[in-house]
């Protein structure tokens, strides 16, 4: 058992020292088993004045990468002493080692990042370096040889299992599944832009359309592990997962903890995974072992797994009970309570256009290529994707051959050459129908909620259409090319006269005078 120790610096200021829990588990401090240690940490945090949450909803987002820094979270770690103060720097180094250079860093610490829009849809299975990351604390670094996890609570035979034992196929048959994981914050920017909500940079980070990814996960079904532990006691109804990362909530600390119902586990839809796309899990994605809960909100797929507890009710951990709640639109800062929201589990049907992008100027010959993704959780799958070029009055179906392969628990990528005759500003919209005939709410307002989760409304963007099959447009484009003048930005006025007097008078004569003669 780890114990709380207090050290004194040479400047006579007393600071806490919370030791790492286990040899070979760097960055792991156990909080769940030690209430007195959690209480001591809370007292330490109360002695500090931390930076306030940044305002990023009622003002423009910074044009930086990282977009947000996570100053408060770095300060939380520094306040709890030497064991934790270097976690932000160490975690950022892991980001730079394991993620693509062109990732959008939504939040530097705890790390939240998504790939560029066009790169996300390059392949139906997302490369590890491009898969989005939604972390809730620092990244522990755990020696595989020192790793184990405990299975306890309402199981008949509590056990401690090493990774070597879990990989022993004589004990546990392994399986691989193509599974999409989606953060409930995906497309949150659309809610923020119209109807701001709670502005905590960790809980409600300003995600765009890339907080979703699909991978081949390899491991062991949790159902097999529970069977190995003698099964569950009759009163067990939920399985709780505890991670090695440290989580902060309103001045208190805990280890990350969530739960899923036993019925989900019985369907072999919760995997204990050690491989991602046929490679060992990256550190930032949960090495050595994580859970993958098929079709559920990404928050239930716990990284750096330390414990599995069988419970009679959902986890009482702060993440399960007080985060990822979906509120009615009447709920806000003036009246919100945890009990007034319900816990998000299955992800609803959703889709997004990844190319073109909002405010693009597109020169075309009557068709514009639109590409994106579509997904539905809970074992449902995208059956049809439709795109509209006029704000949602006329819809075109994506040809079936332009949709990627169907899976029970994964997205489908899609593309369509959308017929576009009109010019000027157009509103493009996409929507998905899943196999249960669920589709997306029409407008952002329909899905808005105070915590800005699950932007499942039809995805909308505005493009400026320039149809070169139109004779006047073709003439103007040729004129610009001859003069070496770019079309964009369209808001920049032309420096030459756009019509000579002879042409103007000729057209006017054909049209007749402005005013009627009688």
Average pLDDT over every residue of 326-334: 96
> What totals of helices (H) and strands (E) does the chain contain, helices first?
13, 27
Residue 150 CB contacts under 8 Å (≥ 6 apart), including other chains: 158, 159, 160, 161, 306, 307, 308
Tell me the per-residue pLDDT of 165-198, one tens digit each, with 9 for 90 and over: 999 999 999 999 999 999 999 999 999 999 999 9
Q: State CA 73 to chain mean position distance.
A: 19
Residue 476 CB contacts under 8 Å (≥ 6 apart), including other chains: none
Q: Strand 382-388 vs strand 395-397: parallel, antiparallel, or unpaired?
A: antiparallel
Where does the pLDDT of residue 517 fall: very low under 50, low under 70, confident under 90, or very high at 90 and above?
confident
pLDDT, residue 14, reads: 67
Average pLDDT over every residue of 233-254: 97
Q: Within the chain, what is the greatest distance between any pair of CA atoms? A: 101
Tell me the per-residue pLDDT of 381-431, one tens digit each, with 9 for 90 and over: 999 999 999 999 999 999 999 999 999 999 999 999 999 999 999 999 999
Asked if pLDDT for residue 7 goes beyond 70, the answer is no
Asked if pLDDT for residue 4 goes beyond 50, the answer is no
How far apart, in Å, are the Cα atoms of 225 and each of 108, 124, 155, 170, 273? 35, 30, 11, 13, 12
- Across the beta sheet with 133-134, the strand order is 104-107, 112-114, 133-134
Give the domains, in start order, of the chain with CATH numbers.
7-343 (3.90.420.10), 349-437+457-517 (2.60.40.650)
pLDDT, residue 78, reads: 95
Tell me the per-residue pLDDT of 129-171, one tens digit each, with 9 for 90 and over: 999 999 999 999 999 999 999 999 999 999 999 999 999 999 9
| SS3 label, residue 293 | strand
Is the CB of residue 35 less than 8 Å from the CB of residue 100?
no
pLDDT, residue 120, reads: 97
Average pLDDT over every residue of 41-69: 95
Is the CB of residue 416 less than 8 Å from the CB of residue 398?
yes
Tell me the per-residue pLDDT of 447-504, one tens digit each, with 9 for 90 and over: 999 999 999 999 999 999 999 999 999 999 999 999 999 999 999 999 999 999 999 9
Average pLDDT over every residue of 110-133: 97
Q: 1: closest CA among 21, 27, 28, 23?
A: 21
pLDDT, residue 11, reads: 40
Asked if pLDDT for residue 57 goes beyond 60, the answer is yes
Is the CB of residue 275 less than 8 Å from the CB of residue 128?
no
Where does the pLDDT of residue 365 fall: very low under 50, low under 70, confident under 90, or very high at 90 and above?
very high
Average pLDDT across the chain, whole number: 95
Asked if pLDDT for residue 225 goes beyond 60, the answer is yes
Is the CB of residue 311 less than 8 Å from the CB of residue 305?
no
DSSP string covering 401-443: GGB----TTS-EEEEEEEE----EEEEEEEEEEETT-----SS
pLDDT, residue 16, reads: 85
């Amino acid at each position: 058992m780890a114990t709380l120790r207090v050290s004194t610096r040479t400047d006579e200021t007393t600071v806490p020292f919370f030791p790492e829990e286990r040899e070979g588990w760097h960055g792991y401090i156990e909080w769940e088993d030690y209430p007195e240690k959690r209480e001591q940490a809370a007292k330490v945090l109360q002695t500090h004045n931390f930076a306030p949450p940044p305002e990023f909803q009622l003002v423009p987002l910074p044009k930086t990468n990282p977009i947000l820094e996570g100053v408060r979270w770095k300060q939380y770690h520094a306040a709890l002493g030497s064991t934790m103060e270097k976690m932000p720097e160490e975690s950022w180094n892991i980001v730079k080692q394991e993620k693509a250079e062109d990732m959008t860093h939504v939040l530097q610490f705890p790390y939240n990042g998504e790939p560029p829009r066009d790169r996300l849809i390059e392949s139906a299975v997302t490369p590890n370096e491009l898969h989005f990351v939604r972390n809730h604390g620092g990244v522990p670094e755990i020696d595989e040889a020192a790793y184990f996890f405990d299975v306890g609570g309402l199981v008949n035979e509590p056990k401690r299992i090493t990774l070597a034992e879990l990989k022993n196929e004589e004990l546990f048959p392994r399986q691989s599944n193509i599974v999409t994981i989606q953060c409930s914050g995906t497309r949150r920017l659309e809610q923020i832009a119209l109807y701001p909500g709670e502005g905590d940079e960790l809980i409600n980070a300003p995600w765009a359309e890339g907080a979703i990814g699909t991978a081949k996960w390899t491991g062991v079904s949790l159902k097999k592990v529970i069977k190995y532990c003698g099964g569950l006691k009759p009163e067990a109804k939920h399985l709780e997962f505890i991670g090695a990362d440290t989580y902060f909530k309103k001045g208190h600390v805990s280890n990350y903890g969530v739960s899923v119902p036993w019925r989900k586990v019985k369907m072999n839809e919760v995997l204990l995974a050690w491989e991602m796309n046929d490679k060992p899990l990256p550190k930032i994605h949960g090495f050595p072992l994580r859970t993958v809960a098929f079709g559920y909100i990404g928050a239930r797929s716990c990284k750096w797994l330390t414990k599995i507890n069988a419970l009679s009710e959902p986890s009482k951990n702060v993440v399960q009970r007080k985060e990822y709640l979906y509120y009615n639109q009447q709920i806000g800062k003036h009246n919100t309570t945890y009990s007034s929201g319900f816990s998000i589990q299955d992800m609803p049907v959703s889709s997004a256009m990844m190319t073109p992008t909002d405010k693009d100027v597109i020169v075309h010959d009557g068709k514009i290529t639109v590409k994106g993704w579509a997904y539905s959780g809970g074992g449902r799958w995208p059956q049809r994707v439709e795109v509209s070029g006029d704000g949602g009055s006329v819809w075109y179906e994506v040809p079936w051959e332009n949709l990627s392969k169907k899976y029970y628990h994964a997205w489908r990528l899609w593309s369509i050459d959308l017929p576009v005759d009109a010019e000027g500003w157009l509103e493009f919209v996409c929507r998905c129908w899943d196999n249960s005939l669920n589709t997306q709410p029409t407008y952002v307002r329909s899905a808005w909620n105070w915590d800005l989760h699950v932007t499942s409304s039809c995805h909308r963007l505005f493009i400026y259409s320039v149809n070169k099959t139109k004779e006047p447009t073709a003439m103007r484009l040729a004129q610009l090319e001859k003069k070496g003048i770019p079309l964009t930005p369209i808001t920049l006025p032309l420096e030459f006269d756009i019509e000579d007097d002879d042409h103007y008078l000729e057209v006017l004569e054909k049209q007749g005078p402005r005013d009627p003669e009688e």
